[in-house]
Amino acid sequence: MIGCGFMGRAHSNAYNRVGNFFDQAYVPQLTAVCSRNAAATQAFADAWGYQSIETDWRALIGRADIDAIDICVPNNLHREIAIAAAEAGKMVLCEKPLAIDAADGLAMCEAVERAGVANMVWYNYRRVPAVTLAKRLIEEGRLGRIFHYRANFLQDWTIAEDLPQGGTALWRLDSAAAGSGVTGDLLAHCIDTALWLNGPIRDVTAMTETFIKQRVHSHSGEVQPVTIDDACAFLCHFGNGSLGVFESTRYARGHKALYTLEINGESASIRWDLHDLHRLEYFDHSDEGRLRGWRSINVSDHGGEHPYMDKWWVPGLQIGYEHSFVHQVADFIEGLSTGQPAAPTFRDALQTQRVCDAVLGSAESGRWADVQPSEA
């Protein structure tokens, strides 16, 4: 693993737990973790059970005792590390978004495909059981023709004007490291889920805003312009003819991680809320009129009716955010056994990157922007 931050903990926890709950052909071995600060890296290794540390990612990739590289560093570093790992014959797992932009993402796709190595991007919300159940209901045709898709992801942690940009903790506020603000950080999650549930997006029209125009940079101590988007909203057309409405901001006071989605179809509707992540709400118009209404499905049954839940506790008990990463590791390992790659692959995630690029381009131009179609 390269990186010892928040996502490094989430991934490490998943690697450690997957073998306890999923019976699979392979069990991850935490061989080495890498970051620039040796003391902090050793503390991380001790806490999570890594056997060794490195302070140079190139040395990590060069080791013969490592089969897979997990990239948990700022977005601007993804391309170089992923390509080097692929060229060394390593499997590559990469935090989202895939890259700083679609051009880098395409280079990463070509590298892993040229090398023939397994690859995956950590869009973990696909693996929340309620969201996976929504996917199955859509595939069964229960919603019928889909008319509307709407999603938002709201936070409030960057409102303070004295919050600096850049550095280890706040690189998401520095466009040189992140590429964009809420579009690549939060809306990318919403877009990935939407593409998975509702199919490709054809075109977008967007607006963005940067509310605080200057911040002190953590490295230089100088006041510098802020060039990431603090808020973004966009409309879109999906390939199936439905309309989409998306919104994200880090300036929604009172919201720490509000991610919601709703899909309206001809026959039924579904909606989901990260704050109550085990619950899927479902409205079926075919219900008897006097009983027709939104039903709340507690996605926690144990007999195979609900995705992943038979791997955990007894029926009715809840799981949480961390378990979506365990599910993703389990699916990745299963893909190694079956030869069926676990999605989203780099190629899948490239399409999310293309939507993000179109959103930012539309916001800059003030015009509708087409989304480059996916490739075979």
Tens of pLDDT, residue by residue over 188-217, are 999 999 999 999 999 999 999 999 999 999
216/174 Cα distance (integer angstroms) = 11
Token pair for residue 316? 């009715």
Phi and psi at residue 107, to the nearest 5°: -60, -40
Is beta strand 231-238 parallel, antiparallel or unpaired with respect to 243-249?
Answer: antiparallel
pLDDT at 252: 98
Mean pLDDT of the chain: 96
In angstroms, the Cα distances linking 288 to 4, 59, 146, 280, 292 are 54, 65, 22, 20, 6
Token pair for residue 211? 């509310």
Is the pLDDT assigned to residue 376 strictly greater than 60? no
Whether 179 contacts 100, CB under 8 Å: yes
Whether 28 contacts 61, CB under 8 Å: no
pLDDT at 283: 98
Strand partners, 153: 248, 259
Q: What is the pTM of this model?
A: 0.97
Token pair for residue 123? 């869009």
pLDDT at 167: 85
371 CB-near residues (< 8 Å, 6+ apart)? 200, 201, 202, 203, 204, 354, 355, 358
Beta sheet of 279-284, edge-to-edge order = 295-298, 279-284, 268-273, 258-265, 146-154, 243-249, 231-238, 201-209, 369-370
What number of residues does the chain have? 376
In angstroms, the Cα distances linking 220 to 5, 167, 223 are 22, 10, 9
